[in-house]
Chains A and B, each alone.
Chain A
Amino acid sequence: MKTMHNSIAPVLQRAKAIEDALEAKGLHVSKGIKEGLHNVEDVWLPERGARVVAKAWVDSEFRKRLFQNGVAAVGELEIELPKHHRHLVVLENTPYLHNVICCTLCSCTAFTVIGLPPQWYKDLEYRSRIVRESRTVLREMGLNLSPDIELRVWDTTADTRYMVLPVRPAYTKGWSEEQLAAIVTKDAMIGVSRLTEA
């Protein structure tokens, strides 16, 4: 393709160019972006996944339903997944088992449930190393897993989505669902943290 210019336009100008060009085609992108920003800023937040985790900690029937059919169970809390994410698999950590999720090919996550992936999740380092040097990488990130804990790494290569259900910390005995939800982080639902200490 013939290009008219020699120097590459700054990314901000390229972003504006595509937005304006699509708007000029009558595709109502400003309206679409406005609605989308609402999701990004106010809806797809890790607080949603935290509610799922807290409920699973206190309600054993819900927990069962969550393992049987993740999409339907989070739907009870009015959390929807995009149409193309047809399956949500909830991975249960135990004192002897730890799960961690990644996407080596791009950046796939259950973003409507646990929030959009953080920068490091999408970076080359995490994507290349977490599958091969899993324990080393987790240790570097502050999670030192004892060798007797089995580790499972989940690479999100299809449109099935994963979230980690952390172990409920012992110090939270008697806490309300709301108090419990407040300690659950996105990183714990990705599986790079275990929430076990106060």
Chain B
Amino acid sequence: MDGVHDLGGRQGFGTVRYSSDAPVFHEEWEKRINTLYGYAVKLGIFNMDEYRHAIERMEPRHYMTASYYERTLTSLATLCVEKGVLSLEELEERAMGSFPLSLPLGPGRSNWPNKRSFQIGQTVRVRSDHVSGHVRMPGYIRGKVGVIVKQSPAYPFPDAHAHGIHADDEPTYDVQFKSQDLWPDTTDNALVHVGVFESYLEFIT
């Protein structure tokens, strides 16, 4: 989904607020909620792709202003409500106020039906797919050409796995792009490596 979470290459952001040895957590509840979502995954209430997508489904103004762990909290609550484990009413009653959840889940998609395999060293193009649901193809590589450097183990296809539809495992490829091919105006020379699912790739004809 071309959501606000898909940040790679977006412009207008300022300096990274960096300090060496920066903290992971600021408050105790953040640690607890981070642990709690992991526990919910362990219990099988939802999987990691559903978790990531429920964060992406947050109302954009909420996403942009929420802290990292508020996003965790919102995804966890949304999925518990959607899966019927909890109700919004009981959450709001306990929280003594409204409890904003993510926007509803839309349709997902299955693995690309025609299996093709790609070879190391091959030049490939990322398909120009526009997907309204979960997708792990960052927008900045859409339609771009890169070289396959390595193959990674197969993983469940996230576009299906986040939507509760059958997801076959499929290979992911380490695809190397030149920064100038991604952003012709960039003056920062680099090679950008992205882990790309097989379904997102096409042969160059």
Number of A interface residues, CB 8 Å?
81
Which of A10, A14, A21, A32 is within 8 Å of B42, CB to CB? Answer: A32
Asked whether B130 is an interface residue with its Cβ less than 8 Å from the other chain, the reply is no
Asked whether B43 is an interface residue with its Cβ less than 8 Å from the other chain, the reply is yes
Asked whether B167 is an interface residue with its Cβ less than 8 Å from the other chain, the reply is no
Residues 141-197 of A at the B interface (beta carbon under 8 Å)? 141-142, 147, 150-160, 185-187, 192-193
Q: Tell me if B76 and A135 are in contact (CB < 8 A).
A: no
CB distance from B21 to the nearest CB of A (A): 7
Report the nearest B residue to A32, measured CB to CB. B39
Chain A facing B: main interface SS: mixed
Asked whether B101 is an interface residue with its Cβ less than 8 Å from the other chain, the reply is yes
Q: Tell me if B9 and A128 are in contact (CB < 8 A).
A: yes
Q: Tell me if A155 and B64 are in contact (CB < 8 A).
A: no
Q: Tell me if B36 and A158 are in contact (CB < 8 A).
A: no
CB distance from B95 to the nearest CB of A (A): 4
Q: Tell me if A158 and B11 are in contact (CB < 8 A).
A: no
Number of B interface residues, CB 8 Å?
87
Asked whether B162 is an interface residue with its Cβ less than 8 Å from the other chain, the reply is no
Report the nearest B residue to A104, measured CB to CB. B8
Residues of chain A lying within 8 A (CB to CB) of residue B20: 142, 185, 187, 193
- Give Cα A125 to B39, complex, Å: 29
Residues of chain A lying within 8 A (CB to CB) of residue B11: 128, 132
Q: Tell me if B183 and A132 are in contact (CB < 8 A).
A: yes
Residues 1-41 of A at the B interface (beta carbon under 8 Å)? 1, 3-22, 25, 27, 29, 32-33, 35-37, 39-41
Given A5-B98, A132-B182, also A107-B68 (CB < 8 A): yes
- Give Cα A24 to B7, complex, Å: 38
Residues of chain B lying within 8 A (CB to CB) of residue A11: 29, 67, 70, 73
Residues 73-130 of A at the B interface (beta carbon under 8 Å)? 84, 86-87, 89, 104-107, 115-120, 122-129
CB distance from B63 to the nearest CB of A (A): 10
Residues of chain A lying within 8 A (CB to CB) of residue B14: 125
Residues of chain A lying within 8 A (CB to CB) of residue B98: 3-9
- Give Cα A32 to B39, complex, Å: 6
Q: Tell me if B16 and A104 are in contact (CB < 8 A).
A: no
Asked whether B115 is an interface residue with its Cβ less than 8 Å from the other chain, the reply is no
1/0 per position for B37-80, CB-CB distance to A under 8 A?
Answer: 01110110000100010010000000010011010010011001
Residues 84-102 of B at the A interface (beta carbon under 8 Å)? 85-86, 88-101
Between A and B, 28 residue pairs with Cβ closer than 8 Å are: A9-B99, A13-B97, A18-B80, A19-B36, A20-B94, A22-B36, A22-B86, A40-B25, A41-B31, A89-B174, A104-B7, A104-B8, A104-B140, A105-B8, A116-B24, A124-B7, A126-B16, A127-B7, A132-B9, A132-B183, A134-B192, A152-B192, A153-B179, A153-B190, A155-B192, A155-B194, A157-B136, A157-B138
Please list the residues of chain B having a beta carbon within 8 angstroms of any beta carbon in chain A.
5-11, 13-27, 29, 31-36, 38-40, 42-43, 48, 52, 55, 64, 67-68, 70, 73, 76-77, 80, 85-86, 88-101, 136-138, 140, 150, 152-155, 172, 174, 176, 179, 182-183, 186, 188-197
Please list the residues of chain A having a beta carbon within 8 angstroms of any beta carbon in chain B.
1, 3-22, 25, 27, 29, 32-33, 35-37, 39-41, 84, 86-87, 89, 104-107, 115-120, 122-129, 131-137, 140-142, 147, 150-160, 185-187, 192-193
In the A-B complex, the 6 residue pairs with the closest CB atoms: A9-B97, A36-B35, A104-B8, A158-B195, A32-B39, A17-B94
8 other contacts beyond A27-B43, A159-B48, with CB at 8 A cut-off? Answer: A3-B99, A8-B99, A89-B150, A120-B16, A125-B14, A142-B18, A152-B176, A153-B192
